[in-house]
Amino acid sequence: MACHHVQLPGGGHAIVCGSRRRRPPKCVCGSGLPADLLCDWKTGPGKTCDLAMCARCTTKPAEGKDLCPGHAKAWRAWLAAKGVPESST
């Protein structure tokens, strides 16, 4: 186990010990696949959902954009309310 000295914002210090290996997060769908995508749904100024998901769980509304299953449903509802067919996006 490795220990590291960390500078705290108030000027103090801390010693943090733990393994340096970080496992990639797993998708919330339970498939065991690595969650290498983050949801891009805007949740506020400069903020996005960032739910980690696998490639099977994403919906791509545009190039370089990924939506988690919950926000993909909200996106489809928004499209329907605007009268825009999903296939046109």
Residues 51-56, mean pLDDT to the nearest whole number: 93
Residues present in the chain in total: 89
* Res 74 pLDDT > 80: yes
Please state, as a whole number, how many other Cβ atoms lie within 10 Å of the Cβ of residue 27.
21
Q: Is the pTM of this model over 0.85?
A: no
Domain map (residue ranges) of the chain: 25-83
Phi, psi of 27, rounded to the nearest 5 degrees: -65, 145
More confident residue, 64 or 88: 64
What pLDDT shows up at residue 53?
A: 94
> Would you report the helix, strand and coil content of the chain in percent, each value rounded to 5?
20, 30, 55
The closest alpha carbon to 1, from 16, 23, 14, 13, belongs to: 16
